[in-house]
Structure 1
């Protein structure tokens, strides 16, 4: 059985944070440029970037170290799963709102939103991977009396 330890998860969390920053920047630029036009899908992708970069990634990195009681073995896959659903809903909704690629040929904001949808899809795939790994770890871990560090190793 393969052993997964902290470096793998730190790398995945780092890539998730970078993709969240990219989506945050692209959707923030679109919201800034299109003053009168509001799109729920753009706003939701903006939320996904904020949620992932400022809440989820710090939670997964800092909670097990400084507040291990918050890093319950079932809370970690739950947070990963909810975030995975957010990214899936966000990138699909944004892609549907943008439509086909011919409408964005000379519009940099629209092209930026296409890139945001693509990075959202990649981030969704990363959250699928971390959700599966965290769920496997939570299921296989021995139930102890107290909180355990997340994804320290898989037996």
Structure 2
């Protein structure tokens, strides 16, 4: 069952289209939250003296934006490499590695942004907090989509490897 699903081109295209759509939504919502974010300053006292620290946009928000941009490149690579997967084993290894890295990146990205919700960075009443919550939800959906495509890529790679060994 999994092998026939992995070889189904229409399923692959539909999942890749959903990944690009979710990535575009994350780029828009997270980009908006970053754009309207107003940093805050905090006074820090140390035994050497005091200073005022400026706290800008949290790094997790930028990382989620990177994950969305990275997804577009991953989808383009996977669509191009999909045809060469059965003929070149190195492309198969790279394809699976790219899927796994994207999967881990999305998991880390949406979790890191979800941790910021409700803190001082995204306090109640903050203008961009709703957009950031939407970006987190779509990031989690993107992670689930990558769970499916990673499973399909690994099963297709292992199946093509078995077929190549049986022929040789």
Fold in common (TM above 0.5): yes
Aligned to 1:140: 159
Asked if structure 2 preserves the Cα contact closer than 8 Å seen for 1:52 and 1:83, the reply is: yes
- Supply the distance in 2 between the matched residues of 1:62 and 1:95 (Cα, whole angstroms): 33
In the alignment of these two chains, the number of paired residues is: 141
Q: 1:35 to 1:99 in 2, by over 3 A?
A: closer
Higher radius of gyration, 1 or 2: 2
How far apart are residue 6 of structure 1 and its match? 0.7
The aligned residue for residue 10 of structure 1 is 13
Q: 1:28 to 1:70 in 2, by over 3 A?
A: farther
Counterpart residue number, 2:132: 113
Give TM-score scaled by structure 2 length: 0.74
Instruction: Detail structure 1 runs of 4+ shifted over 6 Å in the superposition.
Output: none
> In 2, Cα distance between the equivalents of 1:74 and 1:65?
14
Is 1:62–2:62 an aligned residue pair? no
- Which residue does the alignment assign to 1:21? 24
Which residue pairs with 1:52 in the alignment?
71
Q: Which residue of the other structure, out of 76, 82, 94, is the alignment partner of 1:75? A: 94
In 1, Cα distance between equivalents of 2:148 and 2:82: 20
24-33 or 68-77: bigger deviation:
68-77
Structure 1 unmatched runs, 5+: 145-155
The answer for unaligned runs of 5 or more in structure 2 is: 40-55
* Cα RMSD after superposing both structures: 2.4
Greater strand fraction, Structure 1 or Structure 2: 2
TM-score under structure 1 length normalisation? 0.80
